[in-house]
Chains A and B, each alone.
Chain A
Amino acid sequence: MIKERLHNYLIGFVSCIFLSIAGYSIAVSSNSNMNYYEISVVGILALSQLIIQGIFFLHLSLQKKDRYRLIIASLIMLIITILVSGSIWIMNNLNSHMMPDTTRMNQYIKSQDGL
């Protein structure tokens, strides 16, 4: 039991360090702006770290004793997905529909000394 846990912790720790450094080197080595390939790789690396930490640090599994924790966690993940993707979607839509030209607005804000 103790040995198994220690083993789990070390696997989780080493793979998380590895994934963090991998994401870091991918991001640092790129010089271009808005590169969707790099952005999605960094996102996938972060999500895989979430799963690794869930399994190895938080001991989530498909066993019966973990079932409630797993159900709660997956529902919250669903809520978070809806919350974050919905907000980004709506706000980007608003941005692109309501601000054809922000230069005049910026001039006005600057003339009012930043609101």
Chain B
Amino acid sequence: MENNLVIKAENSKSYLGFWIYILTDCVVFASLFAVYATLHNNTYGGESAQMLFSMPLALTQTIILLTSSLTSGLAIIAALGKNRSRILLWTVATFLLGALFLFLELREFNHLVAMGDSWRSSGFLSSYFILVGTHGLHILIGLIWMIVLGLIVMKKGLTAKSMKGLVMFNLFWHFLDVIWIFIFSVVYLMGHVGL
């Protein structure tokens, strides 16, 4: 098992380096959360979070992203078993779920802007759009990364390099899921309770 390329990638120095990157990205999100926490009451006469957001949509997005986190983990398990077609299958599933998530998020943004609640309306909406938008941007980068990874695995097979990429992508995707759980809890759930 020690010779397995996935295990090797997980014990490599670059994995530790990527872990440090992930955690510094957490600090970026933490500062955006701090901005949101300070500005979320400054609605400038507009609607508050309680009125604005659709709760069932937020729960659907949470479940979609959690499921995509699971399928991304299943791709790693397939890689441990050296099953190339199953890696591709689970990566495609992760991609589709991630794309669906991003679609729902952009649709909500579009809806908010169409109703006149754009990022220009108030401090609250500025901080909301920058926080959720930064997460959405990360998801978009993850989707592009998945396409590249899928092509590499298809063309070059299960090499040390492609397995390293797969393992790091998996870490990145889990991280985005954790960030979303906090967005879901702080922005949507606590917003609904009326913090």
- Could you tell me which A residues sit within 8 Å of B by CB distance? 1-2, 5-6, 9-10, 13, 16-17, 20-21, 23-24, 26-28, 30, 32-35, 38-39, 42-43, 45-46, 49-50, 53, 57-59, 65, 68-69, 72-73, 76, 79-80, 83-84, 87-88, 91-92, 106
Contacts and interface: CB of A to CB of B under 8 A. Distances in A.
Contacts, number: 129
Interface of B is mostly: helix
Nearest to B16: A68
B171 interface: yes
Interface residues of B, number: 50
Contacts of A46: 181-182, 184-186
B37 A84 contact: yes
Interface of A is mostly: helix
Given A83-B34, A84-B34, A57 B77 contact: no
B11 A65 contact: yes
B26 A28 contact: no
B177 A20 contact: no
Contact of A9 (B44, B62, B73, B182): B73
